[in-house]
Amino acid sequence: MNEIQKYCQSLIQEVAALQTGNEDGDTQEQTFTRIVVDMLAEAGETENAGIAYDEKALGTAKQHKINGYAISDNYETVDLFISIFHNSAEIETVTKAEIETATKRITNFFRKGIYSNYANEVAESSPIFEFANTLANFAELKENLVRINAVILTNGEYKGDFPPSTTISGYNIFYRVIDINYLYQISEQSRVPIELDFDNFEGEQFEIPCLSTSAENQDYKAYIAIIPGTCLAKMYEHYGARLLEQNVRSFLQFTGKINKGIRDTIKTEPHMFLAFNNGIAATADQIELDAENRYIKKIRNLQIVNGGQTTASIYNTAKKDKADISNIFVQVKFSIIDNPEQYGDIVSRISRYANTQNKVNDADFSANNPALVAIEKLSRYILSPITAQNSMQTCWFFERTRGQYKTLRGREGFTKSRQAAFDRKYPKNQMFSKVELAKYINAYQEVWDGRKLVVSPNVVVRGNEKNYARFINNNLPDNIRKINNVYFEDAIAKCILFKEAEKRYGTKVNDYNIGELRQVVVPYSLSLLNRLTENKLDLYKIWKNQQISSQLSDCLYDLMKQINKFILDKSPVTHYIEWAKKEECWEQVKSHLWAFNINEIKSDLIDEKNPSKRNIVADTDNSEENRQHEENIIRSIPYVLWKKIEEWGRDSGFLTPAQQAFVGFDMAHTVKNNRSISDSERNKAMTVFNIVCQHNIDLLSEADDLTEQPKAETTKSATPTDHGITVELVQKMADWDKRRRILKDWQWNVMNDIATGKKVLNDRLAWGCKQNLDILKKHGFTE
* Secondary structure, 3-state, 254-272: CCCCCCHHHHHHHHHCHHH
pLDDT digits (tens, 9 = 90+) for 513-548: 898 899 999 999 999 999 999 999 999 999 999 999
Closest CA to 532 of 589, 451, 610: 589
Q: Which residue has the higher pLDDT, 444 or 414?
A: 444
What does the alpha-carbon distance between residue 391 and residue 194 come to, in Å, rounded to a whole number?
A: 50
Residue 750 has pLDDT above 70, yes or no: yes
What does the alpha-carbon distance between residue 280 and residue 262 come to, in Å, rounded to a whole number?
A: 13
One-letter amino acid of 329 = F
What does the alpha-carbon distance between residue 372 and residue 366 come to, in Å, rounded to a whole number?
A: 10
Name the maximum alpha-carbon separation found in the chain. Answer: 98
Residue 230 has pLDDT above 60, yes or no: yes
pLDDT digits (tens, 9 = 90+) for 261-317: 888 899 999 989 999 888 898 988 889 999 999 999 999 988 888 888 888 889 888
Strand partners, 406: none
Residue 667 has pLDDT above 50, yes or no: yes
Residue 344 has pLDDT above 50, yes or no: yes
What does the alpha-carbon distance between residue 661 and residue 642 come to, in Å, rounded to a whole number?
A: 11
Strand partners, 433: 399
The pLDDT value given to residue 620:
45
- For the residues of 464-491, what is the DSSP string, one character each? HHHHHHHHHHHSS-SSGGG-SHHHHHHH
Closest CA to 206 of 183, 236, 226: 226
What confidence category does residue 252 fall into, taking pLDDT thresholds of 50, 70 and 90? very low
What confidence category does residue 45 fall into, taking pLDDT thresholds of 50, 70 and 90? confident
Helix/strand/coil for 775: helix
Task: Identify whether the C-beta of residue 86 lies closer than 8 Å to the C-beta of residue 167.
Answer: no
The C-alpha torsion from 124 through 129 and 131 to 135, rounded to 10°, is: -90
Task: Identify whether the C-beta of residue 506 lies closer than 8 Å to the C-beta of residue 512.
Answer: yes
Query: Strand (E) positions, 498-635?
Result: none
Residue 575 makes CB contacts below 8 A (sequence gap 6+) with 130, 133, 134, 137, 138
The pLDDT value given to residue 72:
85
Residue 715 has pLDDT above 60, yes or no: no
Dihedral pair phi/psi, residue 95, rounded to 5°? -85, 160
Q: What is the chain's alpha carbon radius of gyration, rounded to the nearest angstrom?
A: 30
Closest CA to 544 of 390, 440, 424, 422: 390
Exposure pattern of 314-333 as b/e (b: 16+ CB <10 Å)?
Answer: bbbbbbeeebebeebbbbbb
The pLDDT value given to residue 783:
78
The pLDDT value given to residue 354:
62
Residue 355 has pLDDT above 80, yes or no: no
Q: Which whole-number Å values give the CA distances from 349 to 44, 243, 324, 442, 466, in the listed order?
A: 19, 17, 36, 28, 22
Element holding 777 (H helix, E strand) = helix 763-778
Strand partners, 166: 173
Task: Identify whether the C-beta of residue 303 lies closer than 8 Å to the C-beta of residue 283.
Answer: yes
The pLDDT value given to residue 29:
94
Length reported for the chain: 783
Closest CA to 432 of 404, 457, 451, 460: 404
Per-residue HEC secondary structure of 562-608 comes to: HHHHHHHHHCCCCCHHHHHCCHHHHHHHHHCCCCCCHHHHHHHECCC
CA geometry: angle at 623 spanning 622 and 629, to 5°? 95
Strand partners, 432: 398
CA geometry: angle at 507 spanning 505 and 513, to 5°? 55
What confidence category does residue 661 fall into, taking pLDDT thresholds of 50, 70 and 90? very high
Dihedral pair phi/psi, residue 601, rounded to 5°? -120, 30
Q: Count of CB atoms within 10 A of residue 778's CB?
A: 8
Angle between helices 485-505 and 370-379 (to 10 degrees): 80
The pLDDT value given to residue 303:
86
What confidence category does residue 260 fall into, taking pLDDT thresholds of 50, 70 and 90? confident
CA atoms within 13 A on the CB side of 706: 21
What does the alpha-carbon distance between residue 328 and residue 314 come to, in Å, rounded to a whole number?
A: 9
One-letter amino acid of 650 = R
Q: Which residue has the higher pLDDT, 276 or 101?
A: 101
pLDDT digits (tens, 9 = 90+) for 236-247: 888 877 787 554
pLDDT digits (tens, 9 = 90+) for 550-583: 999 999 999 999 999 999 999 998 889 989 999 9
The pLDDT value given to residue 421:
86
What does the alpha-carbon distance between residue 601 and residue 552 come to, in Å, rounded to a whole number?
A: 6
Closest CA to 635 of 687, 688, 666, 672: 672
The pLDDT value given to residue 782:
83
Per-residue HEC secondary structure of 306-342 comes to: ECHHHHHHHHHHHHHCCCCCCCCEEEEEEEECCCHHH
pLDDT digits (tens, 9 = 90+) for 586-618: 999 999 999 999 999 999 999 988 888 888 875
What does the alpha-carbon distance between residue 338 and residue 34 come to, in Å, rounded to a whole number?
A: 34
Residue 363 has pLDDT above 80, yes or no: no
